[in-house]
Amino acid sequence: MRSFFSKYKLFGIVLLALSAVIIFLFYDALQPKKTLPVYQPSMVDKTLVDSTLHYKKKYHTIADFELTNQNGQTVTQENYKNKIYVADFFFTTCPSICPIMTKNMVEIQQAILDDEDVLLLSHSVTPIIDSVPQLKKYALEKGVMDRKWNLVTGDKKQIYELARKSYLAVKNDGDGGPYDMIHTENFILVDKERRIRGFYDGTDRKEISKLLTDLEILQASYSE
């Protein structure tokens, strides 16, 4: 009897291991796949959305744009074609939330350093002040890597419309002056189809971790 069990011991172990793998695969197949929402203007705080879009419920995408980066190069939607990217709004002389946001964006930059599918895009809300030399100085100070991250300036009206009508990310105080865009701490996750897939507090460490997790979920959706 003992020799019988010895003879089939290895077979039993292999069968048990195989059964465990099959059960795991079956269980995994039954679990709902994690997906990210596709944000529409009607889903976002109305103070961050242009009034013409308050009730738009589908087909929202980031509009075409043409801006200038920290190296004086023209940056358009073509630079982000078929890319996932994280966008935000800032200004180089901001003394409050911007340094924290930039530090956290640097962390994201480090996480995506070797990932060719993911880029970063930061828009100045004070383009009159944030000239190309000013953006370059800021980029060098903060550790911005040109191949991963564009800091852009340009026509204020265009940036304003992008912020309010595309990214749904800034408030308007209505004074018509150079500071009439009140930017938020939001980081915006944009997919390869130019759709918004997430909003995150760029000053909150937990939100940065969530963004990186959601980024993995979004990337996985393209490999299915």
**CA atoms of 207 and 137, how far apart (whole Å):** 28
Q: Distance between the two ends of the chain, CA-based, in angstroms?
A: 50
Looking at residue 140, its amino acid is L
**CA atoms of 33 and 208, how far apart (whole Å):** 22
**CA atoms of 134 and 105, how far apart (whole Å):** 19
**CA atoms of 62 and 209, how far apart (whole Å):** 24
Q: Is 98 annotated as a binding residue?
A: yes
Residue with tokens 């959305």: 49
**Closest C-alpha to 153, from 64, 70, 62, 65:** 70
Phi-psi region of 168 (alpha: psi -120 to 50; beta: other; left: phi over 0): left
Q: Is 183 annotated as a binding residue?
A: yes
Looking at residue 44, its amino acid is V
DSSP category for residue 28: H
Q: Is 60 annotated as a binding residue?
A: no
| Binding-site residues from annotation | 94, 98, 183
| Binding-site residues from annotation for Cu cation | 94, 98, 183
